[in-house]
Amino acid sequence: MRASDLPRDETRLITPRALRTYAEGLGWQKVDGVNGAISAYRNPREKDRQLIVPLDERLDDYADRAADAVGRLAEFEGRSVREVLNHLLLPPADVLSFRVISPETEAGDIPLEQGEAVIDGARTGLLAVAHSVDSPRAYHPRLGREEAKQFLSRCRMTTGRGSFVLSVACLLDQSPALPGLEPEPFTRRVTTLFVDTLASLATASRNANTALLIDLVRTPGVSANLCEALLHLRPTGDRSHVSVSAVWSRARLPKERKTVEEIRLDQEVFELAEALAPRLRSQPKPNVGSFIGYVEELRGAAVADDSRPSGEIRLILQLKDEEIHARAELTADDYAIAGQAHLNSHPVGMRGELQRMPRLNRLDKVSQFQLIELDGDSPT
């Protein structure tokens, strides 16, 4: 796509400030003595080439002039005009893109469950790294730090076209500070640690060297939580992979880094994450006790010697501080109760041994499976 083909209803939404900040972040130098409805900037590599930034959004041709500026910036960076336009329409933000590349995405769509898993993996991965920024741990028992939750609440999801791409705009906190003493925004600390951690995982998978990854001093972003989150991103197919790219905010480019970085997560990376997760997570003893929850899914089937279905169900268990997903194997009698509970959105109670697992928790040795009586809307 050329700049002249950009939708004018979108280029009209670009603010002059966004264009100026973007250009200055890339090193374009403002030309003195130019006043009126435009600002001029000198190309840092070719001094005789200039960028014209329109300043008056009321002009009839403002959208055309803004499109020309987008085209010049895209040419300078070697990016597509659509990518630059999308970035300019956002507040100052580091944009992380998760591109799933597999046979299933060639037509530009993706199974709904897999798309949901990608979003969940990106969300949980960023939340895990946000906890590791100030408190590196091999495993975070609870992802509840207030600053990390505030960071995630300010992230915005954007969509790409063509193949399946999830883009997360991590908004920078532009808090005022004394000149020369500007602290690194918490968002930037999260996004750079996230990218560096993924790069370390990718390198370790190629070199078959995992010793570095369990050293929290050298790789503070690696945690069981992040490894488990990455498994949600894993595409099907041996030749499939996920490409994670980071486009840093032009309002505040990080020093000594490329303006755009990309990490390729091959199947070996996901295998490494799956192997690391139980090592990083302190393996607790099974939680033996009584549980209450809801039947989320029935996955059983009839067997040869019994026409009644039995087997696996998926549950949402209500623990003291959280809700978790788990699977369990039921006899035909218990499976019939589970089916009744599922059809009527009724809670169930049971005893068992809860095993916390990287992908899906497991409830073993299930007994006393029963419907729970409701007192109003609450189980008793």
Q: Tell me the whole-structure pTM to 2 decimals.
A: 0.58
Degrees to nearest 5, angle at CA 99 with 94 and 105: 155
CATH 2.40.50 for domain 287-379, yes or no, is yes
Burial 66-86 (b: 16+ CB within 10 A, else e): bbbbbbbbbebbeeebbbbbb
For residue 97, give the H/E element and its range: strand 93-101
Q: Tokens for 206?
A: 């190629």
Burial of 35 (0-12, 13-18, 19+ CB in 10 A): exposed
Encode the chain (380 residues) as per-residue pLDDT tens digits: 788 888 888 899 999 989 998 998 888 888 887 777 888 888 888 877 889 999 888 888 999 999 999 999 999 988 889 889 988 988 888 889 888 888 777 766 777 788 888 899 999 999 999 999 988 888 888 888 888 999 999 898 875 544 567 888 898 876 655 555 567 889 999 999 999 999 999 999 888 777 778 888 788 999 999 999 999 888 877 778 899 999 999 888 888 888 889 999 999 999 999 988 888 876 556 788 999 999 999 988 887 778 889 999 999 999 887 888 999 999 999 999 999 999 988 999 999 999 877 567 889 999 999 998 766 555 55
3-class DSSP state of 181? coil
The angle that helices 186-207 and 146-153 make with each other, rounded to 10 degrees, is: 90
CB atoms within 10 A of CB 53: 26
Where exactly are the structural domains of the chain?
3-88, 93-176+183-280, 287-379
Query: What is the topology classification, in CATH, of domain 3-88?
Result: Metal Transport, Frataxin; Chain A (3.30.920)
Q: Is the dihedral of CA 343, 345, 347, 353 positive or negative?
A: positive
